[in-house]
Amino acid sequence: MRKPFVAGNWKMNKTAEEARSLVVEMLPELQKLESVERVICPPFTAIMPVSAVLAGTGIGLGAQNLHWEGSGAYTGEISAAMVKEFCKYVILGHSERRAMFGETDITVNKKVKTTLSNMLVPIVCVGETLAEFEAQKTTEVVTRQMLEGLQGLTPEEGARIVIAYEPVWAIGTGKAASGEGANRVISESIRQPLEKLFNQAVAQGVRVLYGGSVNAANAAEFFGQTEIDGALVGGASLKVADFLTIVKAAVK
Ligand code: PGA
């Protein structure tokens, strides 16, 4: 049995003070939904105040990125040790970072390894662009992102990962994938590579999320699919009522 998992990716939104009041507002209801693993990923500057609010609530905190090196002359970067002081999770390889900040399967792989060796939980994002989707390259692209992004891990490490399937054309566009379509990609291009990389138990045990225009109205369609264990939510995670509705929809 895979425990449902819903993470809010706040991206570059909310000052520290705004972030603190947003979690304070969602906390009473969010705290009750214990059967779902709930994670909030605010920007770095809001991690400290949000962690103070979330302490002891059972709600997890995640970063949106980290650097693979332990420390040193990497201006503007954040290390796993810095993240680990406050967070249990980290989003890696988000398509916005791949498209705008030069991340590749190789850098994602380095970050996954650093994350795992620091005992953090990586939420590894994969997904095809619109051009790749239209050229029917989804299987090829997502399989490659999986095999290269996760290469060199042990099955024990593989078992600790969370994957988010996020078709790039669905992110922030209001045009979500269909539940059935996402389910098929996850089965063929995520669970199959997991089995190839590790083994069947890992492939069946890893939580796989859908992301891309998930909202209060469509969440249940995704959570009703056999291979989808939750969601990585962007825009709707900044709206208290919508995010709570999404987490409630994930309760089994
Ligand atoms: P969205 O973003 O829900 O706003 O489409 C999802 C994501 O980028 O993780």
Tens of pLDDT, residues 40-77: 999 999 999 999 999 999 999 999 999 999 999 999 99
CATH number of 5-251: 3.20.20.70
Q: How far is the CA of 11 from the centre of ligand 1 (A)?
A: 9
The tens-digit pLDDT sequence of the chain (252 residues) is 899 999 999 999 999 999 999 999 999 999 999 999 999 999 999 999 999 999 999 999 999 999 999 999 999 999 999 999 999 999 999 999 999 999 999 999 999 999 999 999 999 999 999 999 999 999 999 999 999 999 999 999 999 999 999 999 999 999 999 999 999 999 999 999 999 999 999 999 999 999 999 999 999 999 999 999 999 999 999 999 999 999 999 999
Phi/psi for 113 (5° steps) reads -65, -45
Angstrom distance (rounded) from CA 124 to CA 220: 22
Give the pLDDT of residue 1: 87
Q: What is the mean pLDDT of the chain?
A: 98
Residues known to be catalytic:
94, 166
Give the list of residues 6+ apart from residue 131 with CB closer than 8 angstroms, or none.
none
Angstrom distance (rounded) from CA 186 to CA 36: 20
Q: How far is the CA of 234 from the centre of ligand 1 (A)?
A: 3
172 lines ligand 1 (CB under 6 A): yes
Beta carbons of 251 and 38 less than 8 angstroms apart: no
If you take atom 3 of ligand 1, which residue's CA is the nearest one? 234
- Which among 216, 92, 82, 195 has a CA at the least distance from the CA of 147? 195
Tens of pLDDT, residues 200-236: 999 999 999 999 999 999 999 999 999 999 999 999 9
Give the pLDDT of residue 249: 98
Angstrom distance (rounded) from CA 27 to CA 142: 35
- pTM for the full predicted model: 0.98
* DSSP assignment string, 166-198: --GGGTTTS-PPPHHHHHHHHIIIIIHHHHHHS
Angstrom distance (rounded) from CA 107 to CA 68: 8
